[in-house]
Amino acid sequence: MTGKNIQLDKNGNLKHFLSIEGLSQPLLHTILNYAESFATVDKRPVKKVPLLRGKTIANLFFEPSTRTRTTFELAAKRLSADILNLNISTSATSKGEILSDTLRTLEAMHCDMFVVRHANSGAAHYIASQVAPHISVINAGDGRHEHPTQAMLDMFTIKQHKKDFTKLSVAIVGDILHSRVARSEIHALNVLGTNEVRIIGPHTLIPKEIEKLGVHIYHDMNSGLKDVDVVVMLRLQRERMRGALLPSEDEYFKRYGLTNQKLKHAKKDAIVMHPGPINRGVEIDSDVADGKHSVILQQVSHGIAIRMAIMAMVMGQINRDENKEKKK
């Protein structure tokens, strides 16, 4: 990212959360550390903290997502915010109203934050550049570009199990070409100083020149998984594919589906992750998805803590509370 980073305010604090690219290692560690404290909220009798009381957050999902939208909604409620879920498919935008008019309408309702999921890359950045100065924008996935909160919840999950990123070898497997999660994770892993980031997949699902992002490319599953600490499996995104990129799902599973036999090439204490939803028998075998190496359900739980941390940070609540403590 070149030029001014609109994600940061004049003091270098988060104003929007749009992309991992352009963020510093200390800032990513700050997000992870705050998520650690928010992870204990679930264990309280009352699962709420008052940090965003009186704030209104609008979920603007221009494409469907159950897991991401639900965890953002839970995160907002646990921060004591009011939440507005806008069903775009039945809203005014599907009746001809342009996006800027929708934004002005929501601003008039005194919303404080927009959580945006959109099929077009760059949509969240565009919205962040158009909203009123008091509004923060969080990218919940835009086209093939990025899915930064998913990457951060995955980094949090890795940290819970492996602690030191600088000693890790991480393999991201599958449909790299269409995956915004893969791009965000590659950026996050490299910013956090991960020893080695590998991507594994067929030639047709590996983007051109992706090695410039600092990854090693493998087309053979067994060699790609050799001695890795973390395996991240990706969903085959058939809805984004054009043309015959794969011979068949059965053939794909034979070569790139994760089975216990293939997992033996990784380290004995390797963890297996998946951003979901899972296509069992296509990219991962049920025995692996439900097995002892899997931390997939933990990823879902960690998504709430990470999104609480990011929401509180972009609204400035954490920074304000810290400054108050320093002045005492």
Identified catalytic residue from 29, 56, 67, 93: 67
The owner of tokens 């030639």 is 203
Separation of alpha carbons 187 and 183, rounded Å: 6
Task: Check residue 225 and give its pLDDT.
Answer: 98
Identified catalytic residue from 30, 68, 71, 102: 68
Task: Check residue 245 and give its pLDDT.
Answer: 59
Identified catalytic residue from 43, 95, 324, 327: 95
User: Domains of the chain, with CATH numbers?
Assistant: 25-146+301-327 (3.40.50.1370), 148-297 (3.40.50.1370)
> Measured between alpha carbons, how far is residue 123 from residues 90, 100, 140, 158, 222 in Å?
19, 12, 10, 29, 38
Task: Check residue 322 and give its pLDDT.
Answer: 44
Reported pTM: 0.90
3-state SS class at 59: strand
The answer to whether 155 and 192 are in contact (CB under 8 A) is yes
Residue 97 has φ and ψ, to the nearest 5°, of -70, 135
Residues in the chain where the model's pLDDT stays below 70: 1-4, 87, 89-97, 238-247, 319-328
Q: Decide if 68 is catalytic.
A: yes
Q: Decide if 16 is catalytic.
A: no
Task: Check residue 46 and give its pLDDT.
Answer: 84
Identified catalytic residue from 15, 78, 117, 118: 117
